[in-house]
Amino acid sequence: MDRKIGILANSEELKATIESLYGEDIKNGKILIDILDSEKINEQGRELERKGAKVIIARTGGYRHTLGKVNVPVINLKIYIQDILHAIMVAEKYKKDIVLLVSDLVDFDYEEWKELIHSKLTLDRYYSVEEIEDAVIKYKDRQSEVVIVGGGIPCKYAKKYGLDYVSFAASDETVHDIISRAWETVDNLYEQRYINNVLKNILDHVHDAVIAIDKEEKVILYNERAEGLLKKEKKYVINNKLKEVFPELNFIAEVLNGKNKYNGIVNIKNIVVTVNNILMELDGQIVGALCTFQDITKLQSLEKKIRIELNKKGLIAKYKFSDLIACDPVMKNTLAKAVRIGMSDSTAMLYGESGTGKEMIAQSIHNISERNSEPFVAINCAALTESLLESELFGYEEGAFTGARKGGKPGLFELAHGGTIFLDEINSVPINLQTKLLRVLEEKEVMRIGSDYVIPLDVRILAAANENLQDKIKDGSFRSDLFYRLSILKLNIPPLRHRKLDIIPLFKHFLSIFAKSSDVHIDGELESKLLKYSWPGNVRELRNIAERYVLFGELDITDSDIMDFNDNEENNIKQINSTEGFCLNLKEIDKYVELKVIDMLEEQGMTKNEIARVLGISRSSLWNKINSSDASKK
Picking from 364, 381, 463, 376, the residue whose alpha carbon sits closest to that of residue 418 is 376
Of 61-75, 151-165, 513-527, highest mean pLDDT: 151-165
Nearest to 60 by CA among 160, 146, 113, 132: 132
Task: Please report which confidence band the pLDDT of residue 586 belongs to, taking 50, 70 and 90 as the band edges.
Answer: very low
Alpha-carbon distance values, 181 to 52, 56, 178, 185 (Å): 18, 11, 5, 6
- Determine phi and psi for 489, rounding to 5 degrees: -120, 140
| Integer Cα distance of 17 and 564 in angstroms | 115
Question: Residue 584 has what pLDDT?
Answer: 41
Distance CA 152, CA 103 (A): 11
Whole-angstrom Cα distance, residue 422 to residue 349? Answer: 10
Residue 568's pLDDT is 52
Give the Cα separation of 559 and 565 in Å (integer). Answer: 10
Name beta bridge partners: 410: 395
pLDDT > 90 in the chain, percent: 21
- CA–CA dist 146, 124 (Å, integer): 13
Q: Is the pLDDT of residue 572 over 80?
A: no
Bridge partners, 274 (sequence order): 265, 294
pLDDT digits (tens, 9 = 90+) for 244-253: 888 888 888 8
Q: What is the DSSP letter of 249?
A: G
Task: State mean pLDDT over 270-285.
Answer: 81
Of residues 60 and 375, the one with the higher pLDDT is: 375
- Pick the range with the lowest mean pLDDT from 150-154, 229-233, 335-339, 623-627: 623-627
**With contact defined as beta carbons under 8 Å apart, do 168 and 175 qualify?**
no
Mean pLDDT: which of 3-12, 284-293, 294-303, 478-487 is highest?
Answer: 478-487
d(CA 332, CA 485): 27
Weakest-pLDDT range from 136-145, 217-226, 261-270, 346-355 = 261-270
- The pLDDT of residue 312: 47
Whether residue 82 is predicted with pLDDT greater than 90 in this model: the reply is no
The chain-wide mean pLDDT, for the chain, equals 82
How confident is the model over 76-90, as a mean pLDDT?
Answer: 84
Average pLDDT of the segment spanning 397-422: 80
- Structure confidence at residue 148 (pLDDT): 92
Of the pLDDT bands very low, low, confident and very high (cuts 50, 70, 90), residue 235 is: confident
pTM of the model: 0.47
Task: Please name the residues in contact with 346: beta carbons below 8 A apart, sequence gap of 6 or more.
Answer: 460, 488, 489
The CA distances from residue 89 to 92, 119, 166, in Å, are 5, 9, 10
Classified as helix, coil or strand, 174 is helix
CA atoms within 13 A of residue 351's CA, in its CB half-sphere? 12
The per-residue pLDDT for 301 is 60
Residue 143 phi/psi, 5° resolution?
Answer: -55, -35
CA distance 152 to 563: 122
- Residue 300 makes CB contacts below 8 A (sequence gap 6+) with none
Secondary structure (3-state) at 272: strand
pLDDT of residue 449: 86
Burial of 117 (0-12, 13-18, 19+ CB in 10 A): middle
Please state which of the ranges 24-28, 334-338, 383-387, 629-633 shows the lowest mean pLDDT. 629-633
Work out the pLDDT band at 540, boundaries 50, 70, 90.
very high
